[in-house]
Chains A and B, each alone.
Chain A
Amino acid sequence: MRLELRDITKSFGDKQVLKGISLAAEGGKAFGLLGRNGAGKTTSIRILMNVFPANSGEILFDGAPMDYSKVQFGYLPEERGLYPKKKIIDQLVYFAELKGMRHSDAVKSVDYWLERLGMSEYRSKRLDTLSKGNQQKIQLVTALAHNPQIVILDEPFSGLDPVNAMLLKDVVKEEIAKGKIVLFSSHQMNYIEEFCDSIAIINGGEVVLTGDLHDIKRNYPRNRLVVRSEQQEAIRKEFADKCTVEEDGALLITLTSSEEKQSVMKHLTDRYDIDEIKVFEPSLNDIFVEYAGQQE
């Protein structure tokens, strides 16, 4: 399975919200959609899900134009909310039926997911009697119960306690393992780094960076070393102005070129008592701030 967006544009009135979004996501992998507030993530997702059409551009599924009658989407919107006054089982079955499931299948699937998320005891309760985190787990069922090929999760981890976050991680990993396309949108970079193989950073309606996360990181100049040692002061003296102290207390040594790094590493390990030494790779957070931080 391969999902591809090609040069999608969209304007609301005079305001151009998307200025040509192109990205590609593979089945069995998670794709991270990043961007600051108002960058155009939700609009891209809505166009992808055919809530409204794009002004121009194509959406391809396995190379052919997307057929919405065949491809199923599961969506956890950032703005959460279902029917607060309705019984949980009733509304979950209703949503699964709307996606084309038969009643008996819908009940079976919803029950499976309630069980999987540890929510079976709330089956016939009203939604508004649940805590916010539990309501979010209920909403997750609407995104998964109909077994969609494409799962879109917008900020899935916000509001979950660590135990529930763990549970959600497991569920997401299962979905990825089933070969589905999982699209993540989040501001919590650590989760994106943990799950996503590929990312796209959207800024001001444009994709400013997209590709495999490892490749992106490796493409950064590899001329910096991160060093942890008991003899920090001595190392600092030796490298003087090439050396800075990171927030977490590690030393960052900038070399004149990346070819030097092998010899410098050898020199350091020979001479000092080193706890840890590695080539510096930027975190996703750093990359995000670099690409999405400027302009607009």
Chain B
Amino acid sequence: MGQFGKILKFELKNYFTNKVFVGVTVFLAVAIAVVMFFPRIMEGFQKEEGSTVTDTSRPVMLIAGENAEAVSQAFSEAFTNYEVKMADGNMEAVKEQIIAGEVECAFVMESLTAYTYYVNNLSMYDSNTVIADEVLQSIYRMSAMIEGGISAEEAGAILSVQMEHETMKLGKDQMENFFYTYIMIFALYMVILLYGQMVATNVATEKSSRAMEVLITSAKPASMMFGKVLASCLAGFIQLVVVFGTALICYNFNKAYLDETGVIASMFNMPIDLFVYMLIFFVLGFLIYAFMFGAVGSTASKLEDINTSVMPITMLFVVGFMVVMFSMTAGNVDTILMKVCSFIPFTSPMAMFTRIAMTTVPFYEIVISIILLIASVIGIGLLSAKIYRVGVLLYGTPPKLGAIIKAIRKA
């Protein structure tokens, strides 16, 4: 323990006396708290103002052309978010109103089955035409059926028939697990890149300030490397505990105000086994990358070189992140690519965790993946300590990979 423990303590103290580190942690915790309290605060404001939240705040939708009156009546029922009005000017006036922002959009009916939709900037999420199509379709069907001799009540019943269905899930509910998987992957991404960069910078700073000359003759390279990396791991972990702990406390405090959507609730109701897997993959994933960042940091002789030196590691990590994210959002995490990625140590922390959370993975696959990962963490850790010992005494241009490997073999 001795030396390693002292290095760990010293490096940890560095993090906790670093104003930026403390500032960012406090900022994140406060930001999360504000977000969590937001619905409650908003409700408080609304109560104070009473129920005078007026209709005039709704955007205006204009209807013009054929059957405008009937259509606007039907639309005002369908578009509850809009104030539906009949257009009272000509087309030019309507367009001007839209451009000026007084009116958000307009439907100009050519017949009951054809119209033109006018809008200033078409939003990505604009589904007004879809709703309009449905409303117009049912009006058309209704009138067609009535014409064909079916009574209005019967027609209404036919059109509004509801199917009864029930879903029995035998495996995982992707929807329910999606959010915390997403948050975990994203947190892992942020923490690894941020702390990896910190470890690399930390090593390179010692090297460029030449404190390394004394350090390398005072402590074993392996103690230095493991001390630094574990300190950053602990610091990162404590930071996350503070941030997510704040979130959890605020959530429990504001449960009544937040539960409406179910999304936030699903995040905090993570099953315990999944939580344990998350911890395992998080810590191991963090370590494997932190070691690599530390090793690379030791080969840079100037702080400016760090960014280019860490590029390959960052790329490797980002590619893994992309694969997982695309598979997740595509809803299919059982592709061959994901299966392969869930065994490669550099991507398995993200890929295997995603698969565990979102589909059913045989237990032996999980065990194999974790064993591979642990073995790689130890291997990469020892290798990085060797690179560190060689790297810290090299000054000048960063050495090529081949040269480092040669030097390690010789040393």
Contact = CB atoms under 8 A, between A and B. Distances in A.
Partners in one complex: yes
B6 interface: yes
A83 B217 contact: no
A95 B211 CA distance: 10
Contacts of B390: 52
Interface in A13-34: 13
A81 B206 CA distance: 9
Interface string B180-211: 00000000000000000000000000100111
B210 A98 contact: no
A98 B390 CA distance: 20
Nearest to A101: B6
A81 B216 CA distance: 13
Contacts of B206: 83
A79 B406 CA distance: 26
A51 B216 CA distance: 7
Given A46-B393, A52-B411, A84-B209, A94 B6 contact: yes
B213 interface: yes
A142 interface: yes
Interface string B1-20: 01100110010000000000
A112 B125 CA distance: 72
Interface in A31-76: 46, 49, 51-53, 73, 75
Main secondary structure on chain A at its contact with chain B?
loop
A139 B214 contact: yes
A77 interface: yes
Which interface residue of B6, B407, B411 has the most chain A CB atoms within 10 A?
B6
Given A46-B393, A98-B219, A79 B2 contact: no
A80 B210 contact: yes
B2 A100 contact: yes
A97 interface: yes
A83 B219 contact: no
A281 to B, nearest CB: 37
A51 B93 CA distance: 84
A75 B6 CA distance: 20
Contacts of A84: 209
Contact of B217 (A13, A73, A79): A73
Contacts of A81: 209-211, 213
A82 B212 CA distance: 8
Contacts of B403: 13
A222 interface: no
B406 A13 contact: yes
A51 B214 contact: no
A11 B393 CA distance: 15
Interface residues of A, number: 25
A295 B218 CA distance: 36
Interface in B213-247: 213-219
Interface string A82-104: 11100000000011011110000
Contact of B211 (A51, A82, A100): A82
B209 A98 contact: no
A54 to B, nearest CB: 11
A13 B206 CA distance: 25
Contacts, number: 59
Determine which residue in B2, B210, B217, B406 has the highest number of CB atoms from chain A within 10 A of its CB, and name it: B217
A79 B214 CA distance: 10
B355 interface: no
Give the bracket for the number of chain B residues in contact with chain A.
Answer: 20 to 34
A79 B210 contact: yes
A79 B6 CA distance: 25
Given A46-B393, A52-B389, A53-B411, A75 B210 contact: no
Given A13-B406, A52-B389, A84-B209, A99 B218 contact: yes
B6 A77 contact: no
A79 B213 contact: yes
A79 B7 CA distance: 22
B393 A94 contact: no
Contacts of A52: 389-390, 393, 411
Contacts of B10: 94
Contacts of A139: 214
Interface string B369-407: 000000000000000000001100100000000010011
B330 to A, nearest CB: 47
A100 B2 CA distance: 8
A142 B209 CA distance: 15
B393 A83 contact: no
A33 B410 CA distance: 26
A97 B6 contact: yes
Contacts of B219: 98
Contacts of A82: 209, 211, 214
Nearest to A86: B14
B214 A77 contact: yes
Nearest to B216: A51
Contacts of B6: 94, 97-98
Contacts of B217: 46, 49, 51, 73, 75, 77
A139 B214 CA distance: 9
A142 B215 CA distance: 10
20 contacts: A11-B410, A13-B406, A13-B407, A51-B217, A51-B393, A52-B389, A73-B217, A75-B213, A75-B214, A77-B214, A79-B210, A80-B213, A81-B210, A82-B211, A82-B214, A83-B206, A84-B209, A97-B6, A100-B2, A142-B214
Given A80-B210, A95-B214, 14 more contacts: A11-B410, A12-B410, A13-B406, A13-B410, A46-B393, A77-B217, A81-B209, A82-B209, A94-B6, A97-B6, A98-B3, A98-B6, A100-B2, A142-B218
Interface of A: 11-13, 46, 49, 51-53, 73, 75, 77, 79-84, 94-95, 97-100, 139, 142
Ranked nearest first, the 3 interchain pairs of A and B with the lowest CB-CB distance are A81-B210, A77-B213, A98-B218
